[in-house]
Amino acid sequence: MIVAGADLGTECVKAIIVSDEGKILGRAVVPTRGLFQDCFQEAMGNALVEAGATAADLRGVGVTGFASACAPLASQTITETLCHSRGAFHGRGHGMTLVDIGGRDSKVIHVDERGIVRSSRSARKCAVGIGTFLMFASRHLDVHPTRLMDLATQATKPAVVSSYCSVLSEVEVIERLRDGATPGEIALGCMYSIAERVLEMDRLTGPVMISGGVCEYFPGVVKALVERSGLPVEVVPEPIMAGALGAALYALDTAKA
């Protein structure tokens, strides 16, 4: 028996195939472009090919994410909070404070020793779009997103990128360039800005883990969060896939019921 999970986000669509023992058999990530339905079909098709299976083999498909309503094969829809916490807990099996930072939404989720979500706090509405903001910054600093932290290490101090509003933060990036700040100072300021947004959401208590595409494509955010929080932060295995994995595990629960 196999099931699938998918996380339809604003920056990427992720799909994963899981066996009845919870083992990952196939996975795929495609950039979000055009219709969400087409991105879902592409990601799911690629994941099925890697798993050596077809859509007819699936006993269930759990979906989550911003565009979860655009998944035509879905048998159930689960919230992002539940899916990311389930995916993270599956990989570690202990209580945690989970910081989920995706392209659009970010959350601080407190998970107990049984994997149950005890509380969840999201960023203020104006602060959503963290991943999109970092992509914007990378483009204007003329650096690949994964090299943004390499750029930041060249700076001795961060430029001020202080706004919690993603749109105003983008304006500040351009203003800092105009004012003569170095690309490294601006990159470092962007990392600190994201860490401050996370810390504004809720108090972090150890162990702290992080999931979502931002920490995979922008590893400097993790380092900035460690520095600003004073706590060790561990990245969950395959952080960009945590939501899709959680969705698949919920579909597996249903299939076994």
Q: Are 3 and 61 in contact (CB under 8 A)?
A: yes
The dihedral over CA atoms of 219, 220, 221, 224, expressed in degrees to the nearest 10, equals 140
Structural domains for the chain: 2-93+238-256 (3.30.420.40), 106-110+114-235 (3.30.420.40)
pLDDT in tens, the chain (257 residues): 999 999 999 889 999 999 999 999 999 999 999 999 999 999 999 999 999 999 999 999 999 999 999 998 899 999 999 999 999 999 788 999 999 988 777 899 999 999 999 999 987 766 667 777 888 888 889 888 778 878 888 888 889 887 667 778 888 999 999 999 999 999 988 888 888 888 888 889 889 999 998 888 888 888 889 988 999 999 999 999 999 999 999 999 999 98
Q: Are 170 and 194 in contact (CB under 8 A)?
A: no
Rounded to two decimals, the pTM is 0.88
- pLDDT tens digits along 78-94: 999 999 999 999 978 89
